[in-house]
Structure 1
Amino acid sequence: MTLAAQALTQLATWPDLAEAEPSCGIGQALRSAQVEIAHFHSDNDVDLHLTARAIRRFEEHLVATATVRLVPGSQWATLRLDVTADFHLLMTLVSLALQAHQAWPVPGDVPRAECNDHHSAVHPRGHLSEG
């Protein structure tokens, strides 16, 4: 079983998450009562809906790892699950995403329907504020 499949199986048991069809139409998704939280696009790639505010708050930490890729202007972070540490990072970030959507809602912070799977330019390192 791949790390993404293990993560999907484990996260589907969390009481605040339910399996759903992803809005992008690719792979499998998990959603909370409010929004889609994660899209599992392949055996290795997961898009995680963190919110713009959470990405801004934790951007320095997110870009410090090669596991996380950010797209400027997107409220989704893409994680590449290659090793067990990536799996654990995903679990932590899903918890953060749930908290961000439940505790830090921002008026007008509405996600675009498209996750990062639809973006061609994914930037693996560097701050989003940099050119």
Structure 2
Amino acid sequence: MTLASRALAQLATWPDLRQAVPSCGLGQGLSSLQGEIVHFHSDRDVDLHLTTRAIRRFADDLRSAGAIRIVPGSQWVTIRLDAASDVDLLMTLVSVALQAQQAWPDPAGRPEIGCNDQRGAGFVRVVPGWI
């Protein structure tokens, strides 16, 4: 069992999440009542919808996590699952994402960009000053 399949199986048991087809059409996804939360694109890459405000709020912590990639302007972060600790990080961030969707929804009228998988191969590590 891969780290991604183990994480997906664990998250699928959470009462606030339900399995869903990712809007990008690639892989497997989970949604809450507020919308898409997570897309599992491969055995290692997971896109998580944190919301713009949550990414800004936790920018310093996200910067320090080597498993996280952020695309400037995206409401999603990409998590690379290389170790069991990355799965633990994903679980924590899914919890943050669920809370963020309720407490800090993205501004009305802002177009939904979709997950980072749709934004091409140009993933970049977050750098100071972009937020």
Report runs of 4+ in structure 1 exceeding 3 Å deviation.
none
Contact 2:50-2:75 at 8 Å conserved across structures: yes
Secondary structure in structure 2 of the residue aligned to 1:78 = strand
What 5-or-longer segments of structure 2 have no aligned partner? Answer: none
What 5-or-longer segments of structure 1 have no aligned partner? Answer: none
Q: CA RMSD in A?
A: 1.6
Partner of 1:25: 25
Pairs within 5 Å for 1:6-85 = 6-85=6-85
- My pick for the range that moved more, 70-79 or 118-127, is 118-127
Alpha-carbon distance between aligned partners in 2 of 1:111 and 1:87, rounded to the nearest angstrom? 30
Secondary structure in structure 1 of the residue aligned to 2:117 = helix
Amino acid at match of 2:67: T
Overall identity of the aligned pairs, in %: 59
Aligned length: 130
TM-score, normalized by length of structure 1? 0.92
Once the two structures are TM-superposed, the CA of residue 114 in structure 1 deviates from its matched residue by 1.8
Cα distance change of structure 1 residues 25 and 52 upon mapping to structure 2, 3 Å threshold: same
* Deviation readout 1:54-85 (Å, 9 max, x if unpaired): 00000111021210000000000000000011
Cα distance change of structure 1 residues 85 and 119 upon mapping to structure 2, 3 Å threshold: same
